């Protein structure tokens, strides 16, 4: 791992560091050459924060020096190779090309599993309600074989309900699948999907924009949805209530100019309100794999 990559990955290990903070740091110091790996000795209130002010009036090189605690962060990074975790930064050639096109693409992806799946096309994001109904399950059973047979890779979020079913049926049909999780790889959520996650770490791929020891926070879930849609050529919503998180994924896809597909449902089912409204707004109505395939091609 080169010096620049290690420094960038180190930055990501600071709690609550924002995407925009790293952007400002890189804009001021593109090579991170003024970033030091020493401890912080000053006890002044200004310097007890993790980073010095980016917009400081002091334009000297010192204003962009960032101090780290190497023994903690380096130990964590060294453990990644032992645990077969790869880190792909936005500056690496392996970084997914479609993901670079989104608003605030993750600075790095922490990955465990088959990295070759990143290059596999086409990819279809499949998301839906955490309270999957029998109708949603039957739709997956009906539609997935045709998608998998044509080499479509399924991307989802390893959440309870439709997400977990999407991963499971992709695998059952001999296909490939990628999970994008909230939090880090050492903290799979929900716990009931742990066995599925462990299987995917061996034969499929799990990705996170957060260092592995990051515990999932509430805001991680809507944030990771931009990665699910950003990796994919299109997004398929299976079931969704009116205020479902799945609709956030659909909105990300629309904003990035990606295809949005929606499964129609009963007007009497609360789990079809969101998907039916998506169709009213222009999402493609899906009743078979062919409806998706003709657009993805």
pLDDT digits (tens, 9 = 90+) for 117-144: 999 999 999 999 999 999 999 999 999 9
**Residue of 46 and 131 predicted with greater confidence:** 131
Q: Is the pLDDT of residue 275 over 60?
A: yes
Domain assignment present for 87:
no
61 and 148 belong to one structural domain: no
Domain assignment present for 140:
yes
Domain assignment present for 106:
no
Q: What is the pLDDT of residues 221-240, one digit of tens each?
A: 999 999 999 999 999 999 99
157 and 257 belong to one structural domain: yes
Least confident range from 31-35, 94-98, 198-202, 246-250: namely 31-35
70 and 118 belong to one structural domain: no
161 and 69 belong to one structural domain: no
Please say which residue of 82, 104, 121 terminates a domain: 82
Domain assignment present for 101:
no
194 and 233 belong to one structural domain: yes
65 and 167 belong to one structural domain: no
Please say which residue of 82, 103, 131 terminates a domain: 82
Please say which residue of 82, 101, 136 terminates a domain: 82
pLDDT of 66 reads 45
Q: Is 97 left (phi over 0), alpha (psi -120 to 50) or beta?
A: alpha
Domain assignment present for 108:
no
133 and 67 belong to one structural domain: no
Domain assignment present for 107:
no
134 and 257 belong to one structural domain: yes
How many structural domains compose the chain?
2
CATH code at 162? 3.40.50.450
pLDDT of 245 reads 84
68 and 186 belong to one structural domain: no
Q: Is the pLDDT of residue 103 over 60?
A: yes
Instruction: Give residue 220's domain range.
Output: 113-296
pLDDT of 49 reads 38
Q: pTM for this one? A: 0.88
36 and 78 belong to one structural domain: yes
Domain assignment present for 96:
no
187 and 226 belong to one structural domain: yes
Q: Residues of the chain with pLDDT > 70: what percent?
A: 88
Beta bridge partner(s), residue 205: 113, 178
pLDDT of 36 reads 61
67 and 183 belong to one structural domain: no
pLDDT of 224 reads 94
Q: What pLDDT band is residue 16 in, cutting at 50, 70 and 90?
A: confident
Domain assignment present for 91:
no
pLDDT of 75 reads 80
């Amino acid at each position: 791992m080169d010096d620049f990559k290690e420094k960038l990955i180190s930055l990501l290990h600071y709690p609550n560091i924002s995407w925009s903070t790293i952007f400002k740091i890189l804009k001021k110091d593109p090579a991170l050459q003024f970033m030091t790996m020493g401890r912080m000795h000053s006890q002044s209130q200004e310097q007890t924060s993790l980073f010095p002010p980016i917009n400081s009036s002091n334009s000297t090189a010192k204003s962009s020096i960032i101090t780290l605690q190497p023994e903690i962060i380096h130990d964590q990074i060294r453990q990644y190779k032992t645990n077969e975790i790869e880190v792909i930064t936005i500056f690496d050639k392996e970084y997914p090309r479609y993901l670079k096109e989104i608003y605030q693409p993750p600075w790095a992806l922490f990955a465990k599993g088959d990295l070759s799946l990143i290059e596999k096309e086409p990819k279809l994001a499949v998301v839906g309600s955490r309270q999957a109904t029998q109708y949603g399950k039957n739709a997956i059973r009906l539609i997935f074989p045709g998608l998998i047979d044509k080499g479509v890779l399924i991307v989802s979020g390893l959440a309870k309900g439709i997400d977990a079913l999407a991963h499971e049926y992709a695998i059952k049909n001999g296909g490939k699948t990628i999970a994008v999780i909230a939090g880090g790889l050492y903290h799979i959520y929900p716990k009931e999907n742990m066995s599925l996650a462990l299987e995917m770490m061996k034969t499929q791929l799990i990705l996170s924009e957060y260092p592995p020891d990051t515990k999932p926070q509430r805001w991680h879930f809507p944030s990771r949805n931009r990665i699910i849609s950003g990796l994919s050529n299109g997004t398929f919503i299976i079931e969704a209530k009116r205020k479902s998180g799945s609709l956030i994924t659909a909105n990300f896809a629309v904003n990035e100019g990606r295809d949005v597909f929606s499964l129609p449902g009963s007007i009497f089912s609360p789990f079809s309100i969101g998907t039916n409204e998506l169709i009213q707004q222009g999402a493609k109505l899906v009743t078979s794999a062919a409806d998706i395939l003709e657009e993805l091609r």
